[in-house]
Structure 1
């Protein structure tokens, strides 16, 4: 299934995407699409619903976050060797973890706002992994059974804040609107192999990122197992698994950063596409 939430910000309702790509209203069968709704038994009940019997939604309907109640927005840094090289950093011996606050998350067609004074805001297309069953100290062989589904994530990053303002990366990762997610959550049964998906991002129609999850340093099962040793993962938690090369700060001969009026289009194979406009946050 392709699950999504639709409607005005703060008033989103559950929906799904049928086999013809049409948006359908699921709210009569699932009043709230949150972490609890991602449990295997709930997803199985939703699969038995005939999408053709659900009300159609207009194609221009706003899509919000695909699910609500995300407790953790976890990210993995430098998880593609070629991206680590363009960033001038070593390939890590263990996964590099950091967090983005859930408050930065927006829908797949919403506006990305440049922070006041920002000159080095960058893009990162990533595969997102959504937890459906509580995971603590899980074995790698069992890790994928804790995954409800997958989604597209754009780990928007202000590089000056991230790398030059002292402390950890969080300052450059957590600005409002820096976590576009979706357009939908694709349940795990529709993703045959999360380690064989293409990723891409275009800026103003120009190709920037092209990659494949085949070249991850640490695969999805490894990451779920590894992270569960340090913290319990709960239904609705999100793991963003790292980005392939082609980010703005790695462009040669001159870095390229986002500016007001830019348009990003990005996607992951089988998981849908984001289309995001960039605007400058107004001065006070």
Structure 2
């Protein structure tokens, strides 16, 4: 029996590998991609980076401007995430199978969350760009809508995961809907909700760079400006600052998660 099982697993694995190899070869042929040139260009790119993409003395003089733009980007990311989290919590309550008030509201909440979650932040930036133009508000709403969709779905799963037993117990005692929410759902779900919010803050700070390039604001706009003007030393310093900031925020988030979970 075991021999047949492992033989089937090996056969399935070989079939899967053959399909993947066929798709890869087909994609290379259709796109006329030069594999050899692609791999050799990595070495050339590394050589160019090491000789051009590094901060110099002139770039260090631009550090105050970079830090100002970075501060703006981080604050916008945090603001968009926290406000989106409030709306996401409301929709998650309505959409959750544990706390939903009716099937109509539950389906509507899940549909809205799915719509917003499946539109990328970059796409939101392009859509909103036509309405608000190139300003901070465009970047804020792009991050807000992306965060809202993701957090609504995450909050629904968190509420269903940790609150179902306590909600059933309170319902059995005849507790009101708001008593169940404030005495059971929120207290038991807070650690997971905070964890998702921290994750979204990290993600939005990464997204904010791309959003800034598209909307002409924040640290992304500054990077685009330096790079397009061939000021590679300042652009490299900006990248280093972004990486350090993301690592620092990730460290703080992980510490907070260890404390609350």
TM (normalized to structure 2)? 0.25
More strand by share: 1
More helix by share: 2
Q: Report the structure number with the largest CA radius of gyration.
A: 2
